[in-house]
Each structure stands twice: as C-alpha cells, then as structure tokens.
C-alpha cells in the first residue's frame, strides 16, 4: 500500500502544469513604509496602548490589522483622538492645520510622513514664498494630495490630474512672462510614464515654469515600475499585490498592462486569486506595491505551489539600500 501511494503521488506531481514565476525585485515595502510602521511600533513600546493613528498608516489592511492587534487605534480625524494619548500621522502626510491643532490641544504627536513626501511639501512652500503658483500633478482625494495642498493657503495650488487638465489650465493672470510665476510638483506615487506626458504638456505651454530640483516621483515607485516592466513582456499574467486604494499599487498594474502582459490584476492576497486567470498561463509575473509585506508575496507563491509545479526566478533591476531614521523622540525605545 505505501508503494502504491508513493506511485500515485508521483504521478499526480508529474501531471501538474509547470509554472514559472518571475518575481520582480525591488518589490514590496519601501523605506518610507518601513519607517512609518516602525514609528507606530516604537510609539506603542514607548507610551503603551492605545496609540492613535490618523488615517491608515500605510495603505495595506494586513499591516493595519497587525498594528491594531498591538494596540494601535486608527481614526479618520484628529477630533476622534483623546487629548491624553499619543497620535501618529500617516506616511502620506497631513495638511499643516493637523499638527497645529494637535499642538493647540497639547497632544503628544509623531509625524510619520515619508521624508520624500516632506520634500515635496518643502518645495511647494519654497515656491509659494517666492510668489509662484504651484501646479500639483496628482490624483484628487488621495491622502498625499490632500496633505500637500494643505501646506499652502487655498488658491495657491492647482491640481492637474491628466494631460487634458494640463492643456486646459489657464492662469488667471495672462501677462507676458507668466511662466516665470509657475512651478510644478508631483505626487510621489504616480506612474513615471503618465507624469512624463503631463510634464511635457506643461513645459510646452509654460516653458519658463519652475521645475523640481529632482524628480518628485520617489525612487521606490520608479524602481518598482521598472521591475514590473522587466517581467511583464515575458509573462502572460501579472499579479500585483496591494490595496485598491494604494496609488503606487494601482500604477504597477497599469504599467504591467502597458508593458506587454496579456492580463494583469491587483489582488490584496492569495485569497483574491481567481484560478481561471491561469488558463493557458505558463509564466506568471509577480510583484507587490510599496505598502505590501513580503509575507503576502510568499503566500501567493505557496498557493501556486499547491496547484502547479513552480519554478521561481527573481528578476532584479535595482538594488535599494535607503533607510530613513525614525523621529528623535522615538530613538532608543
């Protein structure tokens, strides 16, 4: 009987469809996300539970649930927080009125805004001090856009979402040389290719427009998009692990579709896979957005191994060694 079972299992294994998994690298957590999660963890260690967090610390339900289990309480607005407990602001950044209100209430607060987002805030403030009107390339309603626009007085910044918006924008003041009084900044998690089209349109229309000293789209977004391009043209199917409200994850799916993948899907975890997607698929491309933990990637690979004879090949397009320090108030906790 044991020999018969062994023979049956061997036959079953050999009958499985082979599947090559092209694993994009870099993928998953970036330095800003790592820092934000550490800030919540260290705040809990320093002050104990509960620690309040205004908005999701990063856009990933698995991360949020794990931190909730440790004692973090996620709320929508500062008004939902008591005065006597610490509060952390999310990695996406907040309007300047939020820390001002926290200070007026004498609250203990820690800002987990990604340093690259803070750089965009500083650029916008510098341009405003110099009398320039700022064009923000981004998506309406995204927390990062809300936070960036909230750094300046109303009317100081115009949101540009599409090439059509760039074509339609008309400065209120049409005096000659107005281009000297315009500047642009961008949301950090956009598609590099889409932003290039918008920037090209603005440059054509306003050639004297001030530009960022360095591209505002963050290194992690750029690297993950380049990695997914490298696997998409070889894969019939690409899966991007990330949340539906994660801008950089949605952009990865779009990049995969434009870069040759027959199909691309955004999934929260292996549980969201429709295995019918794998019909006639021999090569799968797999990546994860900057807020998705590596455990979710390995979960997808394990689910594939349960159904296919899997071989994994990591496709490395860049090495990342960026580390952002946590705020001084939390160091040595």
Catalytic positions, please? Answer: 144
Residue 206 CB: number of other CB atoms within 10 A?
20
> For residue 11, which phi and psi values (nearest 5 degrees)?
-65, -40
Compute the distance between CA of residue 270 and CA of residue 304 in angstroms, rounded to an integer.
Answer: 9
Residue 150 CB: number of other CB atoms within 10 A?
17
Compute the distance between CA of residue 224 and CA of residue 25 in angstroms, rounded to an integer.
Answer: 7
Integer CA distances (angstroms), 90 to 1, 77, 142, 273, in order: 59, 11, 12, 29
Q: E strands along 40-186, which residues? A: 51-54, 72-75, 87-89, 109-111, 133-137, 157-160, 182-186
Element (H or E) spanning 231, and its range? helix 219-232
């Amino acid at each position: 009987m044991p020999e018969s079972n062994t023979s049956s299992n061997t036959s079953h294994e050999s009958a499985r469809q082979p599947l090559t998994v092209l694993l994009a690298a870099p993928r998953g957590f970036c330095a800003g996300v790592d820092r934000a999660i550490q800030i919540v963890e260290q705040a809990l260690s320093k002050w104990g539970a509960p620690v309040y967090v205004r908005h999701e610390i990063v856009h990933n339900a698995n991360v949020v649930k794990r931190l909730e289990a440790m004692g973090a309480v996620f709320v929508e607005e500062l008004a939902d927080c008591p005065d006597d407990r610490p509060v952390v602001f999310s990695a996406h950044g907040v309007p300047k009125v939020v820390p001002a209100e926290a200070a007026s209430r004498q609250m203990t607060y820690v800002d987990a805004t990604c340093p690259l987002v803070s750089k965009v805030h500083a650029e916008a403030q510098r341009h405003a001090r110099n009398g320039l009107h700022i064009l923000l390339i981004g998506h309406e309603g995204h927390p990062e856009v809300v936070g960036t626009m909230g750094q300046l007085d109303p009317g100081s910044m115009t949101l540009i979402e599409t090439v059509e918006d760039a074509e339609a924008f008309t400065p209120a003041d049409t005096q000659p040389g107005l281009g000297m009084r315009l500047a642009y900044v961008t949301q950090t998690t956009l598609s590099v290719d889409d932003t290039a089209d918008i920037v090209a349109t603005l440059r054509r229309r306003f050639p004297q427009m001030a530009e960022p000293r360095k591209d505002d789209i963050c290194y992690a977004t750029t690297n993950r998009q380049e990695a997914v391009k490298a696997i998409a043209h070889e894969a019939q199917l690409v899966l991007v692990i990330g949340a539906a409200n994660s801008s950089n994850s949605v952009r990865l799916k779009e990049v995969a579709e434009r870069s040759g993948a027959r199909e691309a899907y955004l999934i929260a975890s292996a549980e969201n896979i429709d295995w019918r997607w794998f019909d006639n698929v021999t090569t799968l491309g797999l990546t994860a957005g900057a807020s998705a933990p590596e455990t979710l990637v390995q979960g997808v690979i394990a689910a594939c191994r349960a159904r296919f004879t899997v071989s994994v090949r990591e496709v490395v397009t860049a090495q990342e060694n960026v580390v952002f320090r946590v705020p001084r108030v939390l160091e040595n906790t």
